[in-house]
Every structure is written in structure tokens, then in C-alpha cells.
């Protein structure tokens, strides 16, 4: 089974991806981790690397193509990334995670060690605007559209374990169809 998990920064995609991978022994490919590594290799912050990518579509397209190729060559994998649901139409289950901006920024503040909430809010808003611009320019994708997704889950309402149970139920149901 091929699964995609997508959502805006701080929505919990990484947490749910690795939780499900552990339970179901899925392999994982994370576009965000690849993007972060590429920024680090260039000694750039995420914001700097995002701005760089606005002028050079090569990086985003490379990440998206690499993720798609890896997923299509692996029948038991979770692809985690903002565009995974769009880029891998062959996925058996495509999930979008949502949470309010305030909730996501609080998580980002804790995770990325910003100086304060306002700095985390500004960085998050700028990052999301940069990504939305790039996705629209490169692919004609409106990141706000939930068209490709089978499930939309609110990560403010459920813990990662509860979300894992919901998705595991969907996995079980889909496996019974095969």
C-alpha cells in the first residue's frame, strides 16, 4: 500500500508518518526532510532556501520527482510532504492533516526553537506564502485545494495515537478490498 500524508507546516505530518511507519512497518520518504537537508548543505535557513527556490524551480521539481520515483518503486511506503497527495496520484490513501495557524505555530515554536511566538508566526506565514507561490508557479497547484485527498484529519482534535488508529482503520478497510 502506498500512502501520502500532507499538511501545512506544524500540522503533524512527520509525527503521524513515523507513527504509522512503526506500527505497519512502512518505509518512509519525506520531502520536508530532503528539503531541510538541502538547505543545511547550502548553509541556508529554511526561509533563505525557500527564497532561493522561488527563483530556481529545479530544487522543488527534483525533490518531487525523486519522491514520486521512490514511491512508485516501493509498494509499501508512506510519502510525507506538502505536495505528496498531488504528485503521487497512484497512492492508495491520500491524507491531508489540518490544524489552526495558532496551533501549528505553537508546535513550530517548540520544535524549531524560535525566540518567541511572533518570530515563529512571521517565519511560518512567510514560508507558507513562498511555498504557495512556488507550487502555483511550477505546477498550477492551489495548496488550499483538498481535491486529491481521501481523508482530512484535524490534528488539534486527536493525538497522534488516535490519528494512527483512524488511519489504521482505513488501511485495514482498504486491504480488505484487495
Q: Enumerate domains of the chain plus CATH numbers.
A: 2-166 (3.40.50.300)
* Cell digits of residue 8: 501545512
pLDDT for residue 178: 65
Instruction: Compute the distance between CA of residue 56 and CA of residue 80 in angstroms, rounded to an integer.
Output: 22
The rounded percent of the chain whose pLDDT value lies above 90 is: 67
Q: State mean pLDDT over 49-78.
A: 86
Given a cut of 80, is residue 103 above it in pLDDT?
yes
The rounded percent of the chain whose pLDDT value lies above 70 is: 99
Average pLDDT value over all residues in the chain: 92
Adjacent-strand bridge partners of 5: 80, 95
Residue (of 30, 37, 36, 27) closest to 13 by Cα position: 30
Query: % helix / strand / coil in the chain, to the nearest 5?
Result: 60, 15, 30
Q: Which of 5-19, 111-125, 159-173 has the lowest mean pLDDT?
A: 111-125
pLDDT for residue 105: 95
* Cell digits of residue 88: 503521487
Given a cut of 80, is residue 113 above it in pLDDT?
no
Residue (of 39, 41, 135) closest to 86 by Cα position: 135
For residues 61, 65, 68 and 74, what is the CA-based torsion angle, rounded to 10 degrees?
-150
Amino acid at each position: 500500500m502506498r500512502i501520502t500524508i500532507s499538511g501545512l507546516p506544524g500540522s503533524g505530518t512527520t509525527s503521524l508518518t513515523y507513527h504509522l511507519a512503526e506500527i505497519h512497518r512502512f518505509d518512509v520518504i519525506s520531502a520536508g526532510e530532503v528539503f531541510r537537508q538541502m538547505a543545511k548543505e547550502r548553509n541556508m535557513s529554511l526561509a533563505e532556501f525557500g527564497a532561493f527556490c522561488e527563483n530556481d524551480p529545479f530544487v522543488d521539481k527534483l525533490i518531487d520527482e525523486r519522491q514520486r520515483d521512490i514511491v512508485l518503486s516501493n509498494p509499501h511506503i508512506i510519502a510525507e510532504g506538502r505536495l505528496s497527495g498531488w504528485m503521487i496520484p497512484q497512492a492508495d490513501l491520500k491524507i491531508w492533516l489540518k490544524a489552526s495557524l495558532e496551533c501549528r505555530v505553537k508546535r513550530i515554536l517548540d520544535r524549531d526553537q524560535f525566540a518567541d511566538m511572533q518570530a515563529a508566526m512571521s517565519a511560518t506565514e512567510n514560508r507558507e506564502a513562498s511555498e504557495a507561490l512556488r507550487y502555483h508557479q511550477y505546477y498550477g497547484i492551489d495548496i488550499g485545494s483538498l481535491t486529491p485527498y481521501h481523508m482530512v484529519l484535524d490534528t488539534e482534535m486527536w493525538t497522534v495515537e488516535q490519528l494512527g488508529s483512524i488511519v489504521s482503520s482505513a488501511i485495514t478497510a482498504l486491504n480488505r478490498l484487495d
